[in-house]
Amino acid sequence: MFSPCTRNLLLSSQLRRLQSTLIIAEHNNEALTPVTQNTLSAAKKIGGEVSVLVAGTKCGPAAEAISKASGVSKVLVAESDAFKGFTPESLTPLILATQKQFNFTHILAPATAFGKALLPRVAAKLDVSPITDIIGVKDANTFIRTIYA
């Protein structure tokens, strides 16, 4: 019915609608770090819906700021004293519960000490391999990263 090229385009657009990305926002409860905006740019290149998880203590201002950003479909806010200090031990159960509820295809965090401590733990619990230190996104399944020899 359709040519192979057209079929691939149709399949690609259908899969793009099913894709969804969760960004773990890095912030100080009042303002987002600039690298969170970089992470949002990467998520938009992946395609699909982009949700942002803002967890902390009194993190309303940070959540409000990200809700105004272009490309954000949904902002999920979790406020609790348990998230003080943004430790991977306290955030991992929250991220796992969020993943279970929404079934995201991608989970992103900034490539900072925060993200590098958090995502490997989350990936291990989800039984997937993290892709770290990416510097570019070609599409939902192709990422560019540096290789160190």
Residue 74's SS3 state is strand
Q: What amino acid occupies position 99?
A: Q
CATH number, domain at 138?
Answer: 3.40.50.620
In-domain check, residue 67 = yes
DSSP calls for 32-66: B-HHHHHHHHHHHHH-SEEEEEEEESS-HHHHHHH
51 domain residue, yes or no: yes
Q: In this structure, is residue 9 part of a structural domain?
A: no
Per-residue pLDDT of 94-149, as tens digits, reads 999 999 999 999 999 999 999 999 999 999 999 999 988 888 898 888 888 888 76
81 falls within a domain:
yes
Task: Please report whether residue 116 resides in a domain.
Answer: yes
4 domain-assigned: no
pTM attached to this predicted model:
0.84
Domain that holds residue 41: 18-145
The chain-wide mean pLDDT, for the chain, equals 87
In a domain, 13, yes or no: no
10 found inside a domain: no
Total count of domains within the chain: 1
Question: How far apart are the C-alpha atoms of 149 and 142, rounded to whole Å?
Answer: 21
